[in-house]
Amino acid sequence: MKKFNSIGLDTQKANELSEKLNVLLANYAIFYQNTRGYHWNIKGEKFFELHLKFEELYNDLLLKIDEIAERILTLGNTPLHNYSAYKKMAKVLESEKISDGIEAVEDILNSFGIVISIEREILVLAAEMNDEGTNALMSDYIRAQEKLVWMYAAFLNK
């Protein structure tokens, strides 16, 4: 095995980082599908507001899924692409049919907690190997998601 990959990073460390990125990818994929379900099934007083917010969120999650997969490829590895693998490694669990807005937002906050925690772990790994590309991606995600956590928590009056 070559010592450095095509972007000049230590191959072994890039492989380790890619494994962690695949864990993040798995969590995002399930988070995404859960949010699609909330968008489809939401009912009640806040329907119009939450229906739109959930659509904004799942569109953003879909972009991040693609960016994470492409980062794994850039590091010289293969992104996972099937839900059976995702379910085995993700901490975000598949939700049942949820039509209550409060319950959906609580689950979204829990999912953000999981992905932000993984992103912080990836930041440490990326910093150790001077991988500014992954570091910048995770920093951008965390900054934006911390604001979303604040907003969703405010919706719940937390």
Please tell me the pTM assigned to this model. 0.96
Q: pLDDT per residue over 145-157, tens digit each? A: 999 999 999 999 9
Residue 133 CA to residue 138 CA, distance in Å, equals: 9
Q: pLDDT per residue over 76-104, tens digit each? A: 999 999 999 999 999 999 999 899 999 99
pLDDT confidence of residue 134: 98
Question: Which residues of the chain, if any, have pLDDT below 50?
Answer: none
Task: Just give the CATH number of 11-155.
Answer: 1.20.1260.10
DSSP code at position 9: S
Residue 144: alpha-carbon gap to chain centroid? 12
Q: Could you tell me which residues come within 8 angstroms of residue 11 by beta carbon, excluding any fewer than 6 positions away? A: 1, 2, 3, 4, 5, 76
Angle (deg, nearest 10), helices 47-74 and 11-41: 160
